[in-house]
């Protein structure tokens, strides 16, 4: 019962939200798979390509970073992804830890600005690039756990399912729609957890809490929730 009530609250809230949109601004056009979201002006343009991009194979010592990245692990900076709902943005100390000993870019406008924040003891006010509405519940942890820890997929590939090819971006952009149907289209696929022999481990549902509806043998209602169980994603 309380679930039903929460859904009605959600829907009423949504009508109100959509209503005020219509007055103030045109609805944004729906994104297609290959679109990049709006470019967001950040206090410092952070080049993912130079930090997380692939090394230049012709330059193994990486003496010319402009031609290749440093392949820093995404989770070296976004440390919380594996253990919490948010992935987190690295604190300024992490940038300074490296940049205080990197002479080659010490005097560039962006790095000067970095040290201005540091000297003023201020955090960099990064703006959000991805921002789901508050009525959606999303957690990095479960996705990272499944795809990286259990299915053993490479980190950059997994982040890429939802963030696109960040390692080549000169400034972070949204590249997937993040719409409800987009989330669901992945949940509808099987992501079997396989042991080394390639067999599913145990008899577990592949979707964790999104269990496949059990076959309806009794003629009664199907009890298990399918991948579209509203309450997994909406509080
Ligand atoms: C050296 C640290 C560092 C590394 C390595 C790094 N990032 Fe980031 N990332 C940042 C910072 C700082 C921001 C905030 C600035 C921005 O959004 O452009 C950010 C922003 C992001 C955002 C946008 C966050 C939002 O507001 O929605 C995504 C997505 C992201 N990173 C993914 C990745 C992925 C994927 C990798 C690995 C390919 C990676 N990052 C590697 C530092 C890093
Ligand atoms: C592991 C070391 C390391 C960390 C951590 C790191 N950087 Fe860098 N960063 C570098 C190196 C190396 C370069 C490229 C130097 C070069 O081109 O010679 C660079 C380049 C940059 C540039 C481009 C400079 C320019 O204008 O040419 C920016 C901006 C930058 N880093 C910001 C950051 C920020 C912000 C953080 C923290 C979120 C950060 N870096 C963390 C090593 C690091
Ligand atoms: C299954 C999809 C999915 C995967 C996989 C994923 N993300 Fe995200 N990420 C999202 C969504 C959705 C948001 C926006 C969350 C919100 O607004 O509440 C987000 C937000 C972020 C942010 C912004 C800050 C925050 O924590 O909310 C960063 C940084 C980020 N992701 C980095 C990463 C990195 C690094 C990886 C790989 C280790 C990764 N993500 C894997 C979907 C994903
Ligand atoms: C690349 C495929 C993929 C995409 C894209 C994806 N998911 Fe998932 N999601 C999964 C898998 C696989 C699981 C099951 C994880 C597990 O084993 O617990 C899952 C689990 C979840 C859970 C259950 C977590 C829990 O606490 O039980 C929620 C909630 C969720 N996803 C929300 C979302 C939302 C919201 C989006 C879109 C913004 C999204 N997912 C996009 C694959 C995906
Ligand atoms: C896999 C996660 C997931 C599941 C399951 C899910 N939703 Fe959503 N829902 C979302 C996301 C993400 C958004 C935000 C879409 C956006 O911002 O474009 C959303 C948005 C909505 C909206 C706002 C209108 C819209 O389309 O943007 C409503 C209403 C809604 N969901 C209802 C439901 C109902 C009812 C169910 C069950 C049948 C359900 N949702 C199941 C993830 C989910």
Q: Say which residue, 63 or 71, is predicted with more confidence.
A: 71
Q: Is 102 exposed, middle or buried (0-12, 13-18, 19+ CB in 10 A)?
A: exposed
The closest ligand to the CA of 9 turns out to be: 5
pLDDT at 120: 97
CA distances from 191 to 8, 194, 200 (A): 32, 9, 10
- Residues in CB range of 1: below 8 A, 6 or more apart: none
pLDDT at 98: 94
The closest ligand to the CA of 155 turns out to be: 3
Residue 112 belongs to what H/E stretch? helix 109-119
Distance CA 151, CA 163 (A): 19
Q: What is the CA(233)–ligand 5 centre distance, in A?
A: 7
Confidence of residue 186 (pLDDT cuts 50, 70, 90): confident
Distance CA 190, CA 186 (A): 8
- Give me the chain's average pLDDT, please: 75
SS3 31: coil
Q: What is the CA(83)–ligand 5 centre distance, in A?
A: 24
CA angle in degrees (0–180, nearest 5) for 19-22-24 = 110
Ligand 2 atom nearest to 104, measured from its CA: 18
The packing angle between helices 109-119 and 92-99, to 10°, is: 120
Backbone angles phi, psi at 33, to 5 degrees: -55, -35
Question: Which tokens go with 234?
Answer: 């909406």
DSSP string, 117-181: HHHTT----PPPS----TTB---HHHHHIIIIIIS---HHHHHHHHH--GGG-SS----S---HH
Of 79-88, 120-129, 141-150, 158-167, which gets the smallest average pLDDT? 141-150
Of 38-47, 63-72, 81-90, 113-122, which gets the smallest average pLDDT? 63-72
The closest ligand to the CA of 234 turns out to be: 5
pLDDT at 132: 94
Residues 199 and 215: beta-carbon distance below 8 Å: no
Q: What is the CA(218)–ligand 4 centre distance, in A?
A: 30
- Neighbouring C-alpha atoms within 13 Å toward the C-beta of 233: 18
pLDDT at 74: 96
Q: What is the CA(233)–ligand 4 centre distance, in A?
A: 9
pLDDT at 94: 96
Which pLDDT tens digit goes with each residue over 73-102? 999 999 999 999 999 999 999 999 999 999
Q: Which residues line ligand 1 (CB under 6 A)?
A: 42, 46, 48, 51-52, 72, 74, 76-78, 89-90, 126, 128-130, 156, 159, 163, 166-167, 171-172
Closest by CA position to 47, among listed 114, 121, 116, 131: 114
Question: Which tokens go with 160?
Answer: 């890429």
Of 15-29, 161-175, 205-219, which gets the smallest average pLDDT? 15-29
Is pLDDT above 50 for 106? yes
Mutate to test the pocket of ligand 2, among 78, 99, 116, 167 (most ligand atoms within 8 A of CB): 99
Is pLDDT above 70 for 21? no
Residue percentage of the chain with pLDDT more than 70:
65
């Amino acid at each position: 019962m309380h679930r039903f009530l929460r859904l009605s609250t959600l829907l009423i809230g949504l009508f109100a939200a959509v209503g005020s949109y219509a007055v103030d601004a045109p609805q944004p056009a729906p994104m297609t798979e290959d679109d990049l979201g709006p470019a967001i002006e950040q206090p410092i343009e952070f080049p993912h390509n130079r930090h997380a991009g692939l090394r230049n194979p012709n330059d193994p010592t990486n003496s010319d970073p402009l031609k290749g990245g440093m392949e820093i692990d995404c989770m070296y900076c976004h440390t919380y992804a594996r253990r919490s709902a948010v992935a987190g943005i690295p604190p300024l100390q992490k940038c300074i830890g490296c940049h205080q000993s990197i002479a080659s870019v010490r005097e560039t406008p962006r790095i000067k600005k970095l040290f201005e924040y540091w000297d003023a003891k201020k955090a960099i006010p990064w703006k959000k690039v991805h921002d789901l509405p508050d009525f959606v519940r999303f957690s990095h942890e479960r996705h990272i756990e499944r795809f990286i820890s259990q299915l053993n997929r490479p980190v950059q590939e997994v982040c890429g399912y939802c963030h696109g090819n960040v390692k080549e971006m000169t400034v972070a952009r949204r590249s997937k729609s993040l719409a409800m149907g987009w989330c669901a289209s992945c949940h509808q696929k099987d992501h079997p957890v396989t042991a080394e022999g390639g067999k599913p481990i145990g008899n577990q549902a592949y979707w964790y809490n999104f269990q496949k509806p059990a076959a309806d043998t009794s003629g009664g209602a199907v009890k298990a929730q399918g991948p579209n169980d509203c309450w997994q994603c909406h509080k």
